[in-house]
Amino acid sequence: MRVEYVTSNIAIAEGAMASGLRFFAGYPITPTSDILEYLAEELPKRGGVVIQLEDEIASINAVIGASWAGAKAMTATSGPGYSLMVEALSFAIITETPLVVVYVMRAGPSTGVPTRSCQYDVFQVRYGSHGNYELPVLVPWSAQEAFDLTVKAFNVSEMLRVPTVILSDAMLAHTWEKVIIRNPSELEIVNRRKPEVPPQEYMPFKPGEDLVPPMACFGDGYKVMVESLTHDERGYYSPTTEVQERMIRRLVEKVRRNSHLIVDYETYFTSSAEYMFFAYGSTARSVYALVRELRREGIRAGLYRPKTLWPFDEGGLKKVASKAKRVFVVENNVGLMYKEVARVLRDKEVISVGIIDLDVPSPDRIKEVISEWL
């Protein structure tokens, strides 16, 4: 364990290496490039490979290939790059390939303001690919949590054989903070389950009780079929409703049924909160400051901060919000996660506080908007 003064981007790179990262492919993009640069320096020292490829499409496809060759693999990008990656992400989902994508949000649409922050892509990250699927998305609010959640992202990805995304933003990316960087021996590290049967009995997509199939990799002698078409347990293409339904339901259910291994949240003063704030990522930092300010003024405010956006933790939210009179959903967009919160807390008054700010919405600005509701 060591303590360093780093940005979230570097904390993510360190978290990935602590998790056993062996392959990284990426393409330069603001505000993410320094993850690629930092790993290009550091990862080869630990026996891993880093390559800058011709685009984001190549990067994620190489990461999928590397994962099937047995390596823990990652790529990092921002909105425009993620838009290019979503086709292959869908391929990773149907082939149940463990991998981690780092998505550092920057203000869009299109080229937008590449160097500045936003939270516009909370739906795109989850729903950007074609097909019907679940995709875990973890959302840190500090450099320390960027490290911790990167370790978790690898664990979730390996455990459930599902691509997993760390959703950061431009503000966190380059904010320097103190981070405790733990060694692998001080962390709980999960590795994908290997088959326990001989090759002739192995089926690459036959799940265990947790709905996750053990994974044989290339060179293990199992002659796996990695199939982008709808496939049965052997990996054989099968265009029938029966196989399609079985496959889709399992791909979705393996995440939903194991969601307790993924979802997490943190609360401040919520047990006695009349006004509950829902905020995530960098915006939650301002909301936290505001909640403390309101408390000092005698207003019973509290904060519910999800560390994971997807799958959406309905149970956790319902439980924490049960006593709140009014719920404010504060985010740096025009009100996106608000839709989920309002759906889950449909018997409560849920107010969308969507603020567009190229930095983080300040506590004062948020207070100005909500004051009429207090």
Partner 1 sequence: MAVSRQVHPLDKYVRVDRLPHLWCPGCGIGIVMSAMLRAIGRRISEGLVREENIVIVGGIGCTARMSLYLNFDTVHAIHGRAIPFAVGVKLANPKLKVIVVGGDGDIAGIGGNHLMHAARRNMDITVIMVNNMVYAMTGGQLAPTTPTGLYTTTTPRGNPEKPINVVKLVASLGANYVARASVTHPALIETYVYRALGKEGFTFVEVLSTCPEMFGRHIGIKDAVQLFMELRGKVKVKAKPSLNESYYDWESGFVIGEYVDKDDPGYLRMIGLLR
Residue with tokens 């100005």: 368
Please tell me the distance from the alpha carbon of residue 67 to that of residue 162, in angstroms, as a whole number: 11
In the shown chain, the binding pattern of residues 191 to 220 toward partner 1, with x for contact by CB under 8 A and - for none, equals: ---------------------------xxx
Please tell me the distance from the alpha carbon of residue 358 to that of residue 39, in angstroms, as a whole number: 28
Please tell me the distance from the alpha carbon of residue 196 to that of residue 348, in angstroms, as a whole number: 50
**Contact status: 63 vs partner 1 (CB under 8 A):** yes
Reply yes or no: is the peptide bond before residue 311 cis, omega within 30 of 0. Answer: yes
**Contact status: 226 vs partner 1 (CB under 8 A):** yes
Nearer to partner 1, 73 or 330 (CB): 73
Q: Which stretch binds partner 1 (CB under 8 A): 31-39, 118-126, 226-234, 299-307?
A: 226-234
**Contact status: 28 vs partner 1 (CB under 8 A):** no
**Contact status: 223 vs partner 1 (CB under 8 A):** yes
Please tell me the distance from the alpha carbon of residue 49 to that of residue 39, in angstroms, as a whole number: 9
At 259, list the tokens.
């969601």
**Contact status: 335 vs partner 1 (CB under 8 A):** no
| Other C-beta atoms lying within 10 Å of the C-beta of residue 66 | 23
Return the residue of 40, 42, 51, 108 that touches partner 1, per CB under 8 A: 51
**Contact status: 73 vs partner 1 (CB under 8 A):** yes
Q: Which stretch binds partner 1 (CB under 8 A): 19-27, 105-113, 244-252, 255-263?
A: 19-27
| Other C-beta atoms lying within 10 Å of the C-beta of residue 287 | 29
Counting residues that bind partner 1 (by CB under 8 A) gives 41
Residue 96: closest CA among 158, 149, 154 = 158
**Contact status: 93 vs partner 1 (CB under 8 A):** no
Nearest approach, Cβ of residue 189 and partner 1 (Å): 18
Residue 328: closest CA among 275, 268, 282, 272 = 275
Within 231-270, the residues that bind partner 1 by CB under 8 A are 236-237
User: CA separation (Å) from 74 to 34, 243, 359?
Assistant: 14, 30, 27
**Contact status: 340 vs partner 1 (CB under 8 A):** no
> By the criterion CB under 8 A, which residues form the site for partner 1?
22-23, 25, 44, 49, 51, 53-55, 57-59, 61-71, 73, 87-88, 91, 218-229, 236-237
